[in-house]
Structure 1
Amino acid sequence: MKIALATVAFVAHSLAFAQATPVGLWKTIDDDGKTEKSLVRISETAGVLTGKIEKILDPSAKPNAVCDECKDERAGKPLVGLTILRNLKKGDEEWYEGGDVTDPKNGKVYRAKVRTLEGGKQLQMRGYIGPFYRTQTWIRVE
């Protein structure tokens, strides 16, 4: 009986921990806090997080849109499949940091930090230029 309870507790803890990581599918919400923009899949390889756009949700977006404003190797690439989060690693406390996020709307690249909130149901995405930053809250897609 004790072994069964310990096993259930371990599995429940493991599932809670897995959901608390940024790995998964996220619905991005614009700075206005209302407009759904896209679905981004965050994955982890060798401790490094990356995020790619899987689907555009913004009804004002052009079909088959490309990153017209990107200035690097992503210039002219389709938005669906575009890597917008790169090189984030586990930092101090609950943040993943050290990488960057690209805003495909204007092509700007910002230093980035992310962390999960609400037990992994939300993702706080923070992009920095110098000491200034903007923050968005993304919602996990179950």
Structure 2
Amino acid sequence: MNDGKKYSRWIVILLFLIGPIAWSQTVFGKWKTIDDRNGITKAIVEVYEENGLLQAKILKILEKGKENARCIKCKGDLKDKPVTGMKIMDDFKRNAKGEYRGNRLFDPEQAMTFRGRVWLDPDNPDRLKVRGYLAFFYRTQTWHRVKE
């Protein structure tokens, strides 16, 4: 009887210590992008891990009239390619703060590439902060987690 209580106590302690890690939110998954300038819902983006690095691609365009958009301003291989399926983040690395940083955050509307930073909103893990940098200037969007 005493051994049972001892094991139960250890199980509770173990769950208490491991639980937050097991149930914590990550940046990976599907996100609804929201334009920070006008509040329009733009797309569903999948953020995923490949070879230990963060990647992201557009799964679906949600903005009315742009569902079949092509990258008309793009140059080279991306010229006139469908935006749906396009990779918009490449090889972002996780730092000690739990943020991801990289040099390729691509905006197909502007056909521009930015340095980027991605992190979960500390007040709401169902919101992803995505910041693009161009020299000393930056813009931050807040994306909303898609619950399946």
**Range of TM-score over shorter length:** 0.7 to 0.9
Mapped to 2, the partners of 1:94 and 1:87 lie a distance apart of 15
State the superposition RMSD in angstroms. Answer: 1.7
The structure, 1 or 2, with the larger RCO (C-alpha pairs under 8 Å, 6+ apart) is 1
Runs of 4+ in 1 over 6 A off after TM superposition: none
Query: Normalising to structure 1: TM-score of the pair?
Result: 0.87
The TM-score with structure 2 as length reference comes to 0.84
Q: Point out where structure 2 has 5 or more consecutive residues left out of the alignment.
A: 1-7
Cα distance between partner residues in 2 of 1:48 and 1:102: 16
Task: Return closer, same or farther for 1:90/1:80 CA change in 2, 3 Å cut-off.
Answer: same
- 1:54 corresponds to: 59
1:112 aligns with 2:120: no
Q: Structure 1 35/5 Cα, relative in aligned 2: closer, same or farther at 3 Å?
A: same
Partner in structure 2 of residue 132 of structure 1: 137
8 Å contact kept, 2:130–2:142: yes
Which letter does structure 1 place at the counterpart of 2:134? I
Deviation track 1:15-71 (CA, whole Å, cap 9, x = no partner) reads 11xx1x21110000002362100000000112211101011111131x422111122
Match of 1:96 among 100, 103, 108: 100
Give yes or no for the alignment of 1:5 onto 2:12: yes
Q: How many percent identity over aligned positions?
A: 35
Report the Cα offset of residue 12 of structure 1. 4.2
Which amino acid is the alignment partner of residue 5 of structure 1?
V
Note if contact 1:84-1:102 (Cα within 8 Å) is conserved in structure 2.
Answer: yes
Q: Deviations over 1:109-131 (max 9, x none)?
A: 11111111135211111101111
* Displacement of 1:104: 1.0
